[in-house]
Amino acid sequence: MIKNMLKSKLLKAAAFFSLCFLMPAQSMAATGAANLKSSDFVGVSFWVISMALVAATAFFFLEIQRVSPKWKTSLTISGLVTLVAATHYFYMRDVWVATGETPTVFRYIDWLITVPLLMVEFFIILSAVTKVPAGVFWRLIIGTLVMLIGGYLGEAGVISAMLGFIVGMAGWAYIIFEIYGGEASKINASSATPAVQVAFKTMRNIVLIGWSIYPIGYFLGYLTGAPAANSANMLNVVYNIADVINKIAFGVIIWKCAVSESDKA
């Protein structure tokens, strides 16, 4: 009893602490706030989404205390994904509002941390109910790295935008193969509980459909031959919308699975 009370106090303290950590990052980036114009819909989208990410972080961390122990890690990771993204959004919106330029470096640093964390979630929700070989984990990580490094080199102009697109698509295709036809999908079909199977299938649909928004953004941003300013608007607003689905909605799916599995026990 006392132990449980202490535990929930600790969790609340952890959630509070992480929000305190977000505040300075936010005010540091607030220099751009003065310049936000109501006509700058891309800038407004950066603002709205950074706040939604903060709220999602608080939610996931506070809900940790509600689920059974083996589900806590999944919710922690969901909260870390939105925490890392929120922090990067403060900086990205500042770059955008102040300069009107695409914050490519911050975007890819964010992805480099959050996308592997999302891949880890597949591994963890399966591991919560069955034994999963480490090879599954490494293949998902390798696919992720190929996808992101290809995309970055293309966006930064180190290689041609087209070549970066092709390399990025190849990495993504490899991930899709692993979760639809590879070992991860077989483990899910043969040994996961019904709630995990539902979560796994919804999560992989997000990786197929939700993630497809990013290459569409890349295409509209670099490969249509449209004027640079229009392309930058499209690129950033499309990436921003994609992040709401793939970071917040993805976390909510895991939360739902964790809650229903915990209530059952």
Ligand X SMILES: *C/C=C(C)/C=C/C=C(C)/C=C/C1=C(C)CCCC1(C)C
Give the nearest distance from C-beta 173 to ligand X in angstroms: 8
Evaluate whether 193 touches 261 at the Cβ level (below 8 Å).
yes
Give residues in contact with ligand X (CB under 6 A).
Answer: 111, 114-115, 118, 147-148, 151, 165, 168-169, 172, 211, 214-215, 218, 243, 246-247
25 secondary structure, DSSP code: H
Give the CB-nearest residue to ligand X.
151
Q: Which is nearer to ligand X, 91 or 218 (CB)?
A: 218
Q: Which is nearer to ligand X, 95 or 115 (CB)?
A: 115
H-state helical runs in the chain: 2-28, 41-63, 69-99, 104-127, 134-155, 161-180, 183-191, 194-205, 213-222, 228-243, 250-264
Give the nearest distance from C-beta 214 to ligand X in angstroms: 4
Contacts of 238 (CB under 8 A, 6+ apart): 213, 214, 216, 217, 220, 221
Q: Which is nearer to ligand X, 106 or 218 (CB)?
A: 218
Give the nearest distance from C-beta 60 to ligand X in angstroms: 14
Q: Which is nearer to ligand X, 11 or 159 (CB)?
A: 159
H-run or E-run covering 248: none
Long-range pairs for 66-69: beta carbons < 8 A, 24 or more residues apart: 66/259, 66/262, 67/258, 67/259, 67/261, 67/262, 68/261, 68/262, 68/265
Angle between helix 228-243 and 41-63 (nearest 10): 20
Determine the Cα–Cα distance for residues 190 and 188; give it in Å rounded to an integer.
6
Give the nearest distance from C-beta 39 to ligand X in angstroms: 27
Give the nearest distance from C-beta 147 to ligand X in angstroms: 5
Q: What angle do CA 122, 127, 133 make, to 5 degrees?
A: 90
Q: Which is nearer to ligand X, 11 or 149 (CB)?
A: 149
Q: Which is nearer to ligand X, 114 or 188 (CB)?
A: 114
Give the nearest distance from C-beta 16 to ligand X in angstroms: 25
